[in-house]
Amino acid sequence: MNFVGINERVEQWRQGAVRARRHGRRLWVRVGLFLAVLGPGLITSNVDNDAGGISTYSLAGARFGYLLLWSLIPMAIALYVTEEMCARMAVATGKGLSDLIREEFGFRPTFFVMITGFVVDLGNVVAEFAGVASAMEIFGISRYIAVPIAGFVVWLLVLQGTHRQVEKIFLALCSFYLAYFFSAVLAKPDWLEAARHTVIPTVQFNAGYLLLLAALVGTTIAPWQFFYLQAGFVEKRIGPRQYSQARADVIAGTISCMVIVFFIIVSTAATLHASGQFDIGGAADAARALVPLAGRWAALLFAFGLLNASLFAASILPLSTAHVICEGLGFEAGIDHKFREAPIFYWLYTILIVVGGGLVLVPGAPLWRILVLSQVANGVWLPIVLIFMIKLINRRDLMGDRVNSPTFNVIAGLTSLCMIVLTLVLIYAALFRPGGVPGM
Amino acid sequence: MSTLHATELLGGEAYDAQGNFVGRVTELFIEPSDQPNRIARYLLGRGKYLPLVARHEQVSFVAPGVIKLNVAERDLDHFAPNEGWLAVRKDLLDQQIIDTKGRKVVRVNDIDLAEQPTNGTVELRVTDVDVGLTGAARRLLQGLASPSFIRHIQKQLPARVIRWEFVNLIESDPLRRVKLRITHNRLENMHPADLADIMEDLSATERQSIIASLDEQTAAETLAELDSRLTSQIVEKMAPEQAADILEEMEPDKAADVLAGLSPEVSQDVFDELRSEEAREMANLLRFDENSAGGMMTTDFVLVGESASRGEVVDWIRKKEGESGILDNVYLIDGDAKLSGAVEVARLLVAPEEQAVSEIKSEPLVWVPADANEKDVFELFDKYNLRSLAVVDGNGRPVGVVTVDDVVTRLRAQL
């Protein structure tokens, strides 16, 4: 065969061949699209509805009925804008947020951000284990049995499983959040009224209302998620080609997060608020109070949702915190390393779980103070991280054409401003109105 | 000779020969084109006035927080940015570098400098890069605690430093890389698998720049070790000719996998740039489903007639040296070009010169059809403890060989 002949044959083979191989990959691509890219955003937003979150949402529904539902839409916008910024930074730079902060702002600011993050996340981990404790007590199991087992399972699950398997488990767990939907439906709410308050804002200027609003925003938009999300996208090697999928992931996460918050508020508003029980101590109280009003099933579902949320967040938070701190400060990190290779990472991880879980078991431990402190630290932390993010994402040398649009800058800026104001409210309340801080 | 740290000098005060305050040290420059490790220039910031630059021979004394010059302020040059200068604060501090000895990516906490007094002036030479807790503690406490207290703390902490010779900077701008004399010779001496691990720790542009600066052989071997998503991301950003050159260096099965992972337009462009021989081999491989024996095999293998003697076969291999990728087995074909046997190279080695290769072939002859499922392939490898396995077409003719490293890669992916 002459040269031209060979080339023609090659062309024929190639066309058939590439098509054949593509075909073989198509199923993988479809499944992969969901598992490989639809991941970090969905997980992050759902871990958001953790024990502290559920308590706050329950309280919002119990105390103010449907009144606070309007805040969900602005919160969704703020959540989407900030998370999308992370996705875009991951695509443009291929680096995690802690890496970027370290490289562009130096050691000391990074250290400050990391230490604050550690305090905030330790507080959150305490809240998660407190959530496990109260959920299991509804099922009749003592916290002295439940919390150590949960802590050990979480510790082992992450350290022994490979990262990929762990994340698949987490993704599957996301579907259990449907529990809140059923719980809300069983509570027979006034859907029309709920819809009306979601769209039309009702603003009150009393301390209780503002405090609850502060807690609501603070528990929904937390900086650790930015770090976790961006690291997740970097680890998944999201390139420019996968950016639209990454954004879809962020949108899916934001919406599913807000829908769940909606159902939690609606279910407590329809029952507790409607029957005049405005004050509950937390999510567990909410579940117990649901029994006579909405039936045992609604209550059990609610408690199950709380347990799931607490475990879910308890397995992600310590891991991501240890990761972010080590990466920012330049220590080896990641569960792919052996203990000897990354001792600081493993120690941080273990300390978070042992101290976080242990505090729940100490009789008379100042849990409430720890939670308030971590909430305040979170409020301080968020604007700082957001300002770092805004500065980074407007740098053309880092981002190229993917710098922020003015709209995004305004929304992100407003979010940090709101957070500063709300944090001041929170600090004022913690200092001068002890007992007035809700949701803990 | 004592050790200084870059962060102790940065921010320090500079005085001229008369003892007048000139400014604060805001940056230290190395000129790699001159000396690879000497601090050649000190940038002196003066607030709203233009910054000045002191050359190393104008510096007579250096201590933490202070430097003294042996000239007057008016003798100093004004600062003009120079791409060929390596800036210690901007390019090194807090950035990632490759530790070519430890074979990993690390982040710089501080830079250790050694003082070398030379006829009245002081030269600073970079000795190590601090990537451990000592540097971290110093950065944290500087200005907040007394220097002696910081030194005391440092002694308690384990030091982790990398000698400057083993530091490989990561610079994604190719022009600047040339100016800074950054070569990747040390990377090319690493095992491709180690290099691939390092690549995974870097950002996309950094990966791209390193692959672009490696020789084709190393680049091909490294790409073959990376995970497939990364490989296709890197290849898609290359010029098609360059991508084709690298693919030609790869084993055909790996190259075919890379080609199949690209977007249709890019794979077309790259394919058009391939030499026709390589293109035909890859097209051949691409015909098979990814999860079949044909999709796993490589077409680089040694085929000889069954009537040949040991001596003839060894001569043949010697002649084809470099082309025959995998040399576990030599495969025999009969008069119809059908597979008739396989001879382990180890047995070939010890056989006498005149022995016919058909007399030392392995029994039984194990092979799979090209459309066999990958599970069947795994089972055969397990059952017969194979290192390589012949793949035949519908007429019983050998078309390729599956090797044990491909099996391990796939099994591990399924774990």
Chain segment A241-297, per-residue pLDDT in tens: 788 888 988 998 899 889 989 998 998 888 888 887 777 766 777 777 777 776 777
pLDDT tens figures, B88-130: 998 899 988 888 888 888 899 999 999 887 777 888 999 999 9
Place A79 in a pLDDT band, splitting at 50, 70 and 90. Answer: very high
B375 falls within a domain: yes
**A253: exposed, middle or buried (C-beta count within 10 Å: 0-12, 13-18, 19+)?**
buried
Angle between the B264-273 and B228-237 helix axes, to the nearest 10 degrees?
A: 70
Q: In this structure, is residue B274 part of a structural domain?
A: yes
Interface test with A, best of B107, B270, B273, B292 (most A CBs within 10 A): B107
Three-state DSSP state, A369: helix
pLDDT digits (tens, 9 = 90+) for A86-118: 999 998 888 889 999 999 998 999 999 998 889
How confident is the model over A351-379, as a mean pLDDT? 80
Regarding whether B395 and B251 lie in a shared domain, the answer is: no
**Burial status of residue B197 (CB atoms within 10 A of its CB: 0-12, 13-18, 19 or more):** middle
Statement: residue B358 has pLDDT above 90: no
Is B252 in contact with B285 (CB distance < 8 Å)?
A: yes
End-to-end CA distance of chain A: 81
**Among the partner residues A6, A22, A94, nearest to B204 by beta-carbon distance:** A94
- Whether A32 contacts chain B with CB within 8 A: no
Measured between CB atoms, which of A17, A22, A237 is closest to B287? A17
Across chain B, mean pLDDT equals 86
**Smallest CA–CA distance from A398 into chain B, residue:** B205
Query: Alpha-carbon distance B38 to B32, whole Å?
Result: 8
Statement: residue B308 has pLDDT above 60: yes
- Domain shared by B38 and B63, yes or no: yes
Rounded mean pLDDT of B251-267?
82
**For chain B, what is the domain count?**
3
User: Among candidates B297, B243, B293, B237, which has minimal Cα distance to B271?
Assistant: B243
Give yes or no for B271 touching A (CB within 8 A): yes
Same domain, B347 and B317: yes
Residue B376, in any domain of the structure: yes
Contacts B283 to A, Cβ<8 Å: 10, 13-14, 17
> What pLDDT digit, counting tens, does each position of B56-93 carry?
889 988 988 899 999 988 889 899 888 889 999 988 99
How confident is the model at residue A174, as a pLDDT? Answer: 65
Q: Which domain holds residue B254?
A: 209-287
Question: Of the candidates A94, A103, A107, which has its C-beta nearest B140's C-beta?
Answer: A107
- For A48-432, give the CATH class: mainly alpha
pLDDT bracket for residue A3 (50, 70, 90)? very low
pLDDT value of residue A30: 46
Check CB contact of B231 with chain A, cutoff 8 Å.
no
A21–B109: do the CB atoms touch at under 8 Å? no
pLDDT in the model for residue A161:
60
- Asked if the structure places residue B296 within a domain, the reply is no
- Cβ–Cβ < 8 Å for B217, B244: no
DSSP, res A33: I
Contacts of B8 in chain A (CB under 8 A): none
Sorted by sequence, the CB contacts under 8 Å of residue A340 that are 6+ apart come out as none
Mean pLDDT of chain A: 80
| Facing A102 at nearest CB: one of B94, B203, B295 | B94
Name the token pair of B110: 């501080």
Answer yes or no: do B222 and B148 share one domain: no
**Which of residues A203 and A168 earns the better pLDDT score?**
A203
> Is B128 part of a structural domain of the chain?
yes
* Chain A contact present for B155, CB below 8 A: no
Nearest residue, CB atoms, B283 vs list A17, A234, A330: A17
pLDDT band, residue A374 (cuts 50/70/90) = confident
Q: Choose between A386 and A55: higher pLDDT.
A: A386
CA dihedral B340, B342, B347, B351 (to 10 degrees): 30
Judge whether A203 is closer than 8 Å to chain B, CB to CB: no
Where is B43: in which H helix or E strand?
A: strand B39-46
Taking the C-alpha atoms of residue A439 and residue A164, their distance in angstroms, rounded to an integer, is: 34
Q: Give the three-class secondary structure for B297.
A: coil
* Per-residue pLDDT, A228: 87
- For residues B51 and B145, state if they share a domain: yes
Determine whether the interchain pair B283/A106 forms a contact, defined as Cβ–Cβ distance below 8 Å.
Answer: no
B10 and B155, same structural domain? yes
B295/A contact by beta carbon, under 8 A: yes
Q: What does the pLDDT look like over B228-248, one tens digit per residue?
A: 878 888 888 888 888 888 888
**Helix (H) or strand (E) segment spanning residue B24:** strand B21-30
Is residue A5's pLDDT more than 50? Answer: no
Q: Which residue of B has its CA nearest to A7?
A: B276
HSE-CB at B121 with a 13 A cutoff on CA atoms is 13
| CATH number for B306 | 3.10.580.10
Q: How far apart are CA B199 and CA B213, in angstroms?
A: 13
Distance CA A21, CA B368 (A): 20
Out of A13, A93, A102, the one facing B203 most closely (by C-beta) is A93
Q: What is the pTM of this model?
A: 0.77
Q: Does A330 touch chain B (CB under 8 A)?
A: yes
- What average pLDDT does this structure show over A140-152? 89
Chosen from A21, A113, A245 to mutate, greatest number of chain B CBs within 10 A: A21
Name the packing angle between helices A243-268 and A178-186 (round to 10°).
30
Q: Indicate yes or no: CB of A94 within 8 angstroms of CB of B95.
A: no
Shared domain check, B72 and B152 = yes
Contact criterion met (CB below 8 Å) for B170 and B186 = no
Q: Determine what percent of chain A is predicted with pLDDT higher than 90.
A: 16
Partners of A22 on chain B (C-beta within 8 Å) are 260, 264
Q: Do B276 and A3 touch (CB under 8 A)?
A: yes
Are B340 and B275 members of one domain? no
Is residue B167, in this structure, part of any structural domain at all? Answer: no
B90 touches chain A (CB under 8 A): no
Closest Cα of chain B to A103: distance in Å? 5
C-beta atoms of B286 and A239 within 8 A: no
Question: Which residues of A are less than 8 Å from B205 in CB distance?
Answer: 94
State the Cα–Cα distance between residues B222 and A356, nearest whole angstrom. Answer: 43
* Alpha carbon of B53: minimum distance to chain A alpha carbons (Å): 23
CB proximity list for A164: less than 8 A, separation 6 or greater: none
- Record: contact A241-B263, CB cut-off 8 A: yes
Q: Is the pLDDT of residue A84 over 90?
A: yes
Which residue, of B162, B195, B217, is where some domain finishes? B162
Residue B328 pLDDT > 70, yes or no? yes
pLDDT at A204: 80
Query: Is the complex ipTM higher than 0.90?
Result: no
- The answer to whether the Cβ–Cβ distance between A20 and B289 falls below 8 Å is yes
- Compute how many other C-beta atoms are within 10 angstroms of the C-beta atom of residue A407: 9
Q: B290 CB near a chain A CB, below 8 Å?
A: yes
Q: Whose CA is closest to B255, among B263, B246, B242?
A: B246
Q: In this predicted structure, what is the pLDDT of residue A17?
A: 43
Residues from chain A that touch B229, judged by Cβ atoms under 8 A, are 237
When pLDDT is cut at 50, 70 and 90, the band that residue A435 belongs to is: low
Of A149-163, B5-19, B20-34, B396-410, the poorest mean pLDDT is in A149-163
What percentage of chain B exceeds 90 in pLDDT? 13
- Asked if A6 lies within 8 A of B276 by C-beta distance, the reply is yes
Cβ of residue B205 closer than 8 Å to a chain A Cβ: yes
> Both B312 and B231 in a single domain?
no
- Two tokens, residue A256: 């599913």
Model confidence at B268: pLDDT above 60? yes
User: Would you call A108 an interface residue with chain B, using a CB distance cutoff of 8 Å?
Assistant: yes
Whichever domain contains B68, its CATH number is 2.30.30.240
Whether A239 and B107 lie within 8 Å, measured CB to CB: no
User: Which residues in B lie closer than 8 A to residue A95 (C-beta atoms)?
Assistant: 203
Rounded to a whole number, what is the distance in Å from the CA of B322 to chain A's nearest CA?
A: 25
Give Cα separations from A54 to A276, A318, A359 (angstroms): 20, 19, 20
Q: Quote the minimal CA–CA distance from A78 to chain B in Å.
A: 28
Q: Is A414 helix (H, G, I), strand (E, B) or coil?
A: helix
Would B42 be classed as within a structural domain?
Answer: yes
On whether any CB of chain B is under 8 Å from the CB of A5, the answer is no
Count of positions (residues) in chain B: 415
Residue A7, pLDDT score = 39
From the list A10, A20, A108, the residue facing B280 with the nearest CB is: A10
Identify the pLDDT of residue A440.
Answer: 39
**Does A13 lie at the interface with B, CB-CB under 8 angstroms?**
yes
CATH code, B243: 1.10.220.30
Residues B38 and B147 in one domain: yes
Using the beta-carbon criterion (under 8 Å), do A102 and B203 form an inter-chain contact? no
Which CA distances in Å does B412 have to A335, B244, B407? 17, 28, 8
Looking at the complex, report in whole angstroms how far the Cα of residue A329 sits from the nearest Cα belonging to chain B. Answer: 8
Residues of B in contact with A6 (CB under 8 A): 276, 280
List of chain B residues whose C-beta atoms are within 8 Å of the C-beta of residue A234: 203
Same domain, B59 and B127: yes
- List the single residue in A20, A102, A239 with the smallest CB-CB distance to B233: A239
The answer to whether residue A115 neighbours chain B at the CB level (below 8 Å) is no
What is the distance between the alpha carbons of residues B321 and B344, in angstroms, rounded to a whole number? 17
Q: What are phi and psi of A60, to 5 degrees?
A: -60, -45
Interchain CB contact of A103 with B (< 8 Å): yes
For the purposes of burial, counting CB atoms within 10 Å of the CB of B323, is it exposed (0-12), middle (13-18) or buried (19 or more)?
A: exposed
Distance from CA of B241 to the nearest CA of A (A): 18
Q: What's the pLDDT at A9?
A: 43
User: Do B236 and B93 fall within a single domain?
Assistant: no
